């Protein structure tokens, strides 16, 4: 949805969420419901899938990791525990101890940011 304002996108999402909820209460098949509402069934299925995927917690995609032996590390990186670089160029460096839950929140935020950039 390139070129669509946030408000319009949010409105479209609310519209489809409402339609999908209405369908689940209607007792009709998707085709019957879409015909009655004059909505393309393919659009209904696409939005239902998109909204279900957005509602499910997603974990960041795991990529191969290159491990560097401590003798190969530059002196300045001696305290660095983890450094991640995403395909889009976002860099995350974690030094010291970090609670797993906090790291998961950050990784999910990066994943959501990258997913929204492609929309």
**SS3 for 118?**
coil
Residue 63 has pLDDT above 70, yes or no: no
Do residues 82 and 93 make contact, with C-beta atoms less than 8 angstroms apart? yes
- The mean-pLDDT minimum among 36-40, 42-46, 72-76 falls in 72-76
Q: E strands of the chain, at which residues?
A: 80-85, 91-95
Q: Are 40 and 31 in contact (CB under 8 A)?
A: no
Query: Do residues 109 and 81 touch, judged by C-beta distance below 8 A?
Result: no
pLDDT of residue 111: 77
Q: What is the pLDDT of residue 91?
A: 81
Name the band, by pLDDT with cuts 50, 70 and 90, for residue 14. Answer: very high
Q: 6 pLDDT exceeds 80? A: yes
Tell me the three state secondary structure of residue 9.
helix
Q: Output the six-digit token pair for 105.
A: 């929140």
Average pLDDT over residues 105-118: 75
- Would you say 51 and 16 are in contact if contact means Cβ atoms under 8 Å apart? yes
How do the domains of the chain map onto residue ranges? 6-55, 70-117
Average pLDDT score over residue span 9-17: 91
């Amino acid at each position: 949805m390139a070129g669509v304002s946030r408000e319009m996108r949010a409105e479209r999402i609310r519209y489809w969420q409402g339609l999908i909820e209405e369908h689940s209460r209607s007792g009709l098949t998707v085709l019957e419901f879409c015909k009655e509402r004059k909505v393309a069934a393919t659009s209904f299925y696409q939005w239902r899938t998109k909204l279900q995927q957005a509602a499910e917690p997603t974990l960041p995609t795991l990529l191969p990791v290159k491990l560097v032996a401590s003798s190969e590390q530059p002196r300045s990186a001696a305290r660095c525990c983890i450094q991640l670089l995403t395909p889009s160029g976002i860099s995350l460096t974690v030094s010291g101890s970090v609670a797993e839950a906090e790291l998961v929140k950050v990784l999910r935020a990066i994943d959501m940011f990258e997913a929204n950039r492609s929309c």
